[in-house]
A and B are shown apart, each in its own frame.
Chain A
Amino acid sequence: MELLTEIMQLVVNGLMAGAILAVPAIAFSLIFAVLQISNFSVAAHIAIGAYTTYVVNALFGLPEAAAVVCAFLVSGSVGVVSDHLALKPLRTYGPLTVAIASMALNLVLENLIRFGFGNAVQALDLPVYRNWVFAGVHVAPQQFFNFLIAAGAMVALFCLLTFTSIGKQMRAVADNPTLADIKGISPEQISRLAVFIGMGLAGVGGVLIALEAAIEPNMGFRVILPVFAAAVLGGLGNIPGAVAGALIIGVAEELSLLALPVAYRSAVGFIAIIVALLFFPRGILGKR
């Protein structure tokens, strides 16, 4: 009975953590879908979102909801500018060159944060709530709140892509940029928008991580492996797939604690990538 409760607790924790990972994972996948490149500077944009929250919440005392919106706008804008300056000129050299350049860009952005805010770990000014307990399973209200923001961000992106004209244009460019151009759509403009929304979401992911843990310049880099693994597991470019991948990795990371020391937790991401590439090269939800 105790083991069952422990497993339940780990699954709940895993789903909560997975939902947070899912936000930068869908960002990664969205950018991949539209631009056909892996942009690892998602990591730095997670940190940019978190530091934006820090400025808005801890320094200016604005509420969390305002922090989420600011993080989205700031990370999205930095994403568009950094993509334009650092990655766009390299696009003709192929996706691998751009992927490597995005890692370099990530280092630059991360160190710009260090330059501005120092290496010290920062924390947000948050009220502490008592945990909710359901049948022996503990849930922190903050965790649940984060889960709701993550779910909200995913639903918003889904609705944008499914029901709006701009979302359909984005899917059209992702599917066939040349035909989209023939039909009058500017693939460059749509790509810019995809980077804005993608990096904005990465920033929102950063807010959620900041609310859960601490803020430091390399906080995004710490999670980029499971984020990338989630996107690969779901099939790069597949947005519902990235959500499923993130939830699976979140739960698998927690359950690994039953059998392995905490230090091996990050191995889950590597194993997930290997499993995905061996058995589901197009992702668990992929069929294209």
Chain B
Amino acid sequence: MSFLKVDQVVAGYGAHDEILKKVDMVVEPGEIVSILGPNGAGKSTLLKTVAGLVAPRSGTVEFVGADIAGLRPRDVSRRGIVFVPQEHNIFASLSIEENLEIASYLDKAEYRTRLAQVYARMPELADRRRLTAGALSGGQRQSLAMAMALMVGPRLMLLDEPTAGLSPAAAEKLFALVRAIRDDGVTIAMVEQNALRSLMVSDRAYILVDGRNARSGSAQELINDAEIRQIFLGEK
């Protein structure tokens, strides 16, 4: 039994729109798995299908042996899977602390403990706890979105382009945070544009092209593959 198993999933947004054309993916406990590929390959749609935001038309999605395909987002979250969207991933009109409070809705009993942990890990949020979240910079917003995901003690985190729009320094910080979260025992699947940097923090990766599995393998193997370097990393 796999931790997360996506099998032959077909999904899209409209009635005739197929973005994922029979995609497979397996994520094992404790891994960081990257999902890479060109624009429009269906990377985000794959995460959204797991998260319950897009219902698969066919195929299965299993999480620790249970079928979760087609569940509502809140019911997927209740099983310990937390999706962090690329955009609109915080409540901009609420204060930082209110964001964290709402984020702990599914595990209110641990609110105080987790709030202290999150503030210890991200002191920049603690200093601004009464501030409206919409006033945060890009990097701080992303920290808040990650902090919100940690408020429920997730088993699996799905990150949709966590470093999009961040400065190189902020992106480095975020990748370090991803590793630290994994070292705490949280499994991570992430979509990234920055393929090389993403492979360097990952254990394995899937490469999607036009809604289909193109390649997969260990991150090390893919980094060293000449064809991959040429297509995705722009090297000749």
Contacts and interface: CB of A to CB of B under 8 A. Distances in A.
Contact of B74 (A168, A172, A185): A185
B130 interface: no
B231 interface: no
A184 B78 contact: yes
Interface in B89-126: 89-94, 98, 101-103, 105-106
Interface in A144-184: 165, 168-169, 171-172, 174-176, 178-184
Interface residues of B, number: 25
**Which of B83, B90, B102, B103 gathers the greatest number of chain A CB atoms within 10 Å?**
B102
B186 interface: no
B89 A175 contact: no
A36 to B, nearest CB: 14
Nearest to B145: A179
**Which of A172, A182, A186 gathers the greatest number of chain B CB atoms within 10 Å?**
A182
A172 B53 CA distance: 18
A172 B91 contact: yes
Contacts of B105: 169, 183-185
A130 interface: no
Nearest to A180: B102
A88 interface: no
Contacts of B94: 168, 171-172, 175
B90 to A, nearest CB: 8
B63 to A, nearest CB: 15
B93 A175 contact: yes
Interface residues of A, number: 18
Interface string A198-222: 0000000000000000000000000
Given A168-B98, A176-B88, A178-B53, A184 B74 contact: yes
A131 B193 CA distance: 72
A255 B91 CA distance: 41
A172 B92 CA distance: 9
A172 B91 CA distance: 6
Contacts of A168: 94, 98, 101-102
B106 A171 contact: no
A179 B101 CA distance: 13
A179 B53 CA distance: 10
A176 B92 CA distance: 9
A178 B102 contact: no
Contacts of A179: 85, 88-91
Given A171-B93, A175-B93, A182 B88 contact: no
A240 to B, nearest CB: 13
B72 interface: yes
A183 B83 CA distance: 9
B91 A182 contact: no
Given A171-B91, A175-B92, A176-B88, A182 B83 contact: yes
Nearest to B92: A175
Contact of A182 (B73, B93, B98, B101): B73
Contacts of A178: 53, 73, 85, 88
Contacts of A175: 91-94
B188 interface: no
A184 B53 CA distance: 13
Contacts of B146: none
A72 B103 CA distance: 31
Interface string B110-153: 00000000000000000000000000000000000000100010
A215 to B, nearest CB: 38
8 contacts: A172-B98, A175-B94, A179-B85, A179-B89, A179-B90, A181-B73, A182-B73, A184-B106
Across the A-B interface, give the 7 residue pairs with the lowest CB-CB distance, nearest first.
Answer: A184-B106, A181-B73, A175-B91, A184-B105, A172-B102, A184-B74, A182-B73
